[in-house]
């Protein structure tokens, strides 16, 4: 046996072995203590004490105290565990009693259901919506609001930028795709874009002599970089000439999801593409990009190899990229449903493999908290703590699901982004535009596409949620919600300009429960927003922007037009005229002698209210 083969055999035998001290968040943890319930209108609110090392928590429910206790499925279609309390169970019937237990969540899944269960019984709605209060302290020193929502966004493969054929509804796909990237750049502040298919055949080919031809990539990247955005270079799919099984493909565009025939050739491809990008666009520029190794290898459709083979794929790619320029940031596993993060970190620790960030995906829920694992990795290795990048996230993983066009998804986006502020470095919405062809091109204007923007670049309610988040001015100040459904259904964020002239308060009402996709009157609330710390006896102009079923909802406009699959010229004109966020007429309110001002707003579920107080 040669020395090289002996080394490979040793590697393969060691790859699955756990370390003596597993990373935090990769082994079972006890159930949380202090579980309590609160009966609310149309829901049961649950709260508990956090468990050190937990990535999240899985709520279980039973109809009797003796069980059986089953995980509570809010119909999000992906990971059911939530990152933190409180949790609102709105999958309920008023007056019916339920019993609850909560398990801690780690890489192993849900831990034991220890401890005493608690009972909850949702209340029926009254003649008026239940009340909540939002208390804002404008006297507090503002702190930075981490821009996790616009560091990165997803988009379909960049080669759409050079399409020269008619698209869905007769669209000019290349132009609309580029325009969509410009819209999210200018209106949401997006800085980087992740897209599949760096090694698709229109970008990379292999010449007869075995060398790589990147001329197709040059055309695509030239067009992309002209938008002023930076790419997240997803190292996938496998070129046919390198693939062990070139017929193992996915999606309409047939990305090859095969292991390589030669690991050395895979490493050469990753090294040479890095060299080429640096030579074409500048070493210092490319050093500011992220390189992510593959996409969702934990799903069979995306990878026909094993987890151990993915680790080899990652290690080979990471070492190749770093051999060219150690400044380039490399990470993975880009996994579905928050899987394989801990095992990849364990592999990198055991084998001294470079990893600058961990990446994973989830849908239909707020992202889990992977800080226990990244911190444990840094403590064990003495290396910097890897960043946490959720490189795909959204309201549903299901293609052509009407929730994607709905108002329901707008407060969902704000809930996820607020949760991510303290636990992640980027939460990238998947995707920017409905120009997307994984399972076929859009069959009509509103088809439940993943995009924040429709074909034709109309702004969906989810877009307006991120827009309002991006419009918050100044630094974050304390905002707390109290009342019926506080901090579980109704949440808030507030900011203040440095000179105190402007205070923004963003409030929303939403649930993870997708059985309430069309709204729920029982979950509607009346909100009193009280802001203290203003200039005493000063006048403030109060403007309110709304997102709900009848405001800032372009799908409702289209439904009211009784259109067909695609608008005609006149209908496009009407839709573009309506493509704006709704704003009430401003009013003027005077702060009290104690510098406190109160404003009342209705807050339906689903709904968002953005208040701006500007000193006169």
CB 544 within 8 A of CB 471: no
The 3-state DSSP class for residue 342 equals helix
Identify whether 346 is a catalytic site residue: no
Task: Report d(CA 311, CA 348) in Å as an integer.
Answer: 9
CB 590 within 8 A of CB 392: no
Q: Report CA-CA distances (Å) from 311 to 208, 269, 488.
A: 30, 17, 38
φ/ψ region of 169 (left if φ > 0, alpha if ψ in -120 to 50, else beta) reads left
The 3-state DSSP class for residue 523 equals helix
Identify whether 52 is a catalytic site residue: no
CB 523 within 8 A of CB 506: no
Catalytic one among 176, 234, 292, 296?
296
**Other beta carbons within 10 Å of 552:** 28
- By CB atoms closer than 10 A (0-12, 13-18, 19+), residue 594 is exposed
Task: Report d(CA 414, CA 524) in Å as an integer.
Answer: 17
Best CA proximity match to 113, nearest among 159, 62, 165: 62
Pairing status of strand 130-137 against strand 109-110: unpaired
DSSP structure string for 32-71: PS--EEEEEBTEEEEE----TT-SEEEEEEESSTT---EE
Q: Which residues contact 311 (CB under 8 A, 6 or more apart)?
A: 15, 343, 344, 347
Q: Report CA-CA distances (Å) from 23 to 18, 107, 372, 380.
A: 10, 10, 8, 8
Pairing status of strand 587-590 against strand 130-137: unpaired
Task: Report d(CA 303, CA 299) in Å as an integer.
Answer: 6
Cα–chain-centroid distance for residue 203? Answer: 27
Q: Hey, CA dihedral for 194, 196, 198, 203, is it positive or negative?
A: negative
Q: What is the DSSP letter of 83?
A: S
Q: Report CA-CA distances (Å) from 292 to 38, 315, 343, 393, 465.
A: 43, 12, 16, 16, 28
Longest Cα–Cα distance of the chain, Å, equals 87
Q: Which tokens is 429 given? A: 């919405």
Cα–chain-centroid distance for residue 383? Answer: 27
Q: Which tokens is 521 given? A: 């009157």
Cα–chain-centroid distance for residue 29? Answer: 26
CB 220 within 8 A of CB 202: yes
**Other beta carbons within 10 Å of 101:** 22
Catalytic one among 156, 234, 392, 487?
392
Best CA proximity match to 241, nearest among 267, 207, 191: 207
Q: Report CA-CA distances (Å) from 314 to 128, 257, 373.
A: 57, 14, 18
Cite the active site residues. 296, 392
């Amino acid at each position: 046996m040669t020395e090289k083969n002996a080394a490979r055999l040793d590697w393969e035998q060691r790859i699955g072995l756990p370390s003596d001290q597993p990373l935090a968040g990769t082994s079972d943890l006890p159930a949380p203590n202090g579980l309590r319930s609160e009966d609310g209108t149309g829901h049961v609110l649950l709260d508990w004490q956090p468990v050190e090392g937990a990535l999240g928590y899985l709520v279980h429910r039973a109809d009797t105290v003796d069980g059986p206790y089953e995980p509570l499925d809010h119909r999000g279609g992906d990971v059911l565990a939530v990152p933190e309390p409180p949790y609102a169970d709105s999958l309920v019937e008023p007056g019916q009693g339920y019993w609850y237990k909560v398990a801690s969540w780690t890489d192993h899944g849900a831990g034991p259901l220890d401890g005493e269960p608690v009972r909850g019984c949702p209340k029926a709605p009254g003649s008026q919506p239940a009340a909540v209060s939002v208390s804002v302290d404008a006297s507090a020193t503002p702190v930075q609001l981490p821009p996790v929502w616009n560091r990165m966004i997803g988009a379909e493969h960049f080669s759409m930028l050079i399409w020269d054929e008619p698209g869905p509804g007769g669209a000019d796909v290349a132009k609309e795709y580029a325009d969509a990237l410009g819209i999210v750049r200018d209106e949401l502040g997006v800085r980087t874009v992740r897209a599949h298919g760096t090694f698709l055949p229109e970008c990379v080919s292999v010449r007869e002599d075995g060398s790589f031809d990147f001329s197709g990539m040059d055309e695509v990247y030239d067009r992309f970089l002209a938008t002023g955005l930076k790419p997240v270079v997803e190292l996938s799919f496998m070129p046919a000439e390198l693939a062990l099984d070139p017929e193992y493909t996915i999606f309409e565009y047939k990305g090859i999801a095969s292991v390589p025939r030669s690991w050395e050739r895979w490493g050469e491809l990753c090294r040479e593409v890095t060299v080429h990008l640096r030579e074409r666009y500048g070493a210092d520029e490319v050093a500011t990009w992220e390189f992510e190794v593959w996409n969702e290898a934990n799903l069979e459709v995306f990878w026909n190899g094993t987890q151990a083979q993915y680790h080899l794929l990652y290690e080979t790619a990471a070492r190749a990229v770093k051999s060219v320029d150690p400044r380039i940031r490399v990470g993975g596993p880009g996994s579905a449903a928050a899987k394989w993060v801990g095992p990849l970190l364990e592999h990198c620790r055991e084998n001294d493999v470079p990893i600058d960030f961990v990446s994973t995906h989830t849908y239909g829920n707020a992202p889990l908290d992977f800080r226990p694992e990244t911190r444990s990795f840094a403590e064990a290795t003495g290396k910097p703590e890897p960043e946490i990048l959720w490189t795909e996230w959204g309201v549903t993983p299901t293609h052509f699901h009407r929730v994607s066009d709905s108002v329901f998804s707008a407060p969902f986006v704000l809930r996820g982004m607020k949760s991510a502020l303290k636990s992640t470095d980027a939460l990238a919405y998947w995707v920017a535009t409905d120009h997307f062809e994984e399972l076929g091109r859009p069959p009509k204007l509103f088809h439940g596409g993943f995009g924040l923007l429709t074909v034709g670049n109309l702004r969906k309610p989810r877009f307006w949620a991120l827009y309002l988040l991006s419009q918050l001015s100044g630094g974050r100040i304390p905002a707390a919600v109290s009342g019926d459904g506080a901090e579980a259904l109704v949440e808030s964020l507030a900011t203040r300009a440095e000179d105190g002239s402007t205070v923004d308060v963003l409030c929303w009402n939403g649930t993870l429960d997708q059985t309430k996709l069309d709204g729920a009157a029982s979950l509607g609330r009346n909100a009193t927003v009280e802001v203290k710390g203003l200039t005493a006896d000063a006048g403030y102009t109060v403007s309110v922007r709304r997102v709900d079923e009848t405001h800032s909802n372009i799908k409702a406009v289209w439904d009211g037009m009784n259109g067909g699959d695609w608008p005609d010229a006149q209908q496009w004109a009407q839709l573009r005229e309506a493509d704006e966020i709704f704003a009430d007429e401003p009013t003027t309110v005077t702060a009290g002698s104690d510098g406190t001002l109160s404003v009342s707003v209705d807050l339906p579920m689903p709904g968002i209210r953005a208040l701006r107080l500007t000193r006169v």
